[in-house]
Amino acid sequence: MLYKNTVIKLPAKPRNPPLQSTRLLDQVRERARYLHYSLSTEKVYLYWVRFFIRWHGLRHPRDMGPRKVEAFLTMLATERKVSASTHNQAHPQRMKDVDFDRHMIIVREAKGNKDRAVMLPRSLAPALHDPESLYI
């Protein structure tokens, strides 16, 4: 029987539930949906993940490190003529906060002068714990 002013505590929603899928693109979809990203944002994420993988000869991102990301961003700026503002938004120097528990990167003052939260690939987390390893 419930009484007036009784508080019922429901289990908290996990902040970062384990991914159910084992396939990379399905994991991207799953995380984007969990974070309530729009369908168009999900599609753009999938496009760039595919492009990144194809550009690196179909290698899995877990087998690549920060230097591969930097090479990809440099290629976008030089060969694909991506605007400097777009390149700066994605460049690691724009990264201000890293939440390793939630595997999120907070990008401050991104497009529209808004903060953005993007997924941090698990394969890059160890290198970001040790910033010196990024430049070796």
CATH number, domain with residue 60 = 1.10.150.130
Number of domains comprising the chain: 1
List 83's β-bridge partners, or say none. none
List 98's β-bridge partners, or say none. 105
Identify the pLDDT of residue 57: 92
Task: Identify the H or E element spanning 100.
Answer: none
Q: What angle (nearest 5°) sits at the alpha carbon of residue 90, between those of residues 128 and 50?
A: 90
Which pLDDT band, with edges at 50, 70 and 90, does 135 fall under? very low
Structure-token pair, residue 121: 């690939």
Is 14 inside a domain boundary?
no
Identify the pLDDT of residue 93: 47
Closest CA to 19 of 36, 33, 8, 37: 33
Cα 84 to Cα 89: distance, rounded to the nearest angstrom: 9
Is 17 inside a domain boundary?
no
Cα 135 to Cα 67: distance, rounded to the nearest angstrom: 8
Write down the pTM of the prediction.
0.53
Q: Is 119 exposed, middle or buried, given 0-12, 13-18 or 19+ CB atoms closer than 10 A?
A: middle
Cα 88 to Cα 128: distance, rounded to the nearest angstrom: 18
Q: What is the SS3 assignment for 116?
A: strand
Is 76 inside a domain boundary?
yes
Is 10 inside a domain boundary?
no
Is 130 inside a domain boundary?
yes
What's the domain range around 90?
24-135
Which tens digits make up the pLDDT trace of 94-106? 655 777 788 887 7
Q: What is the SS3 assignment for 83?
A: coil
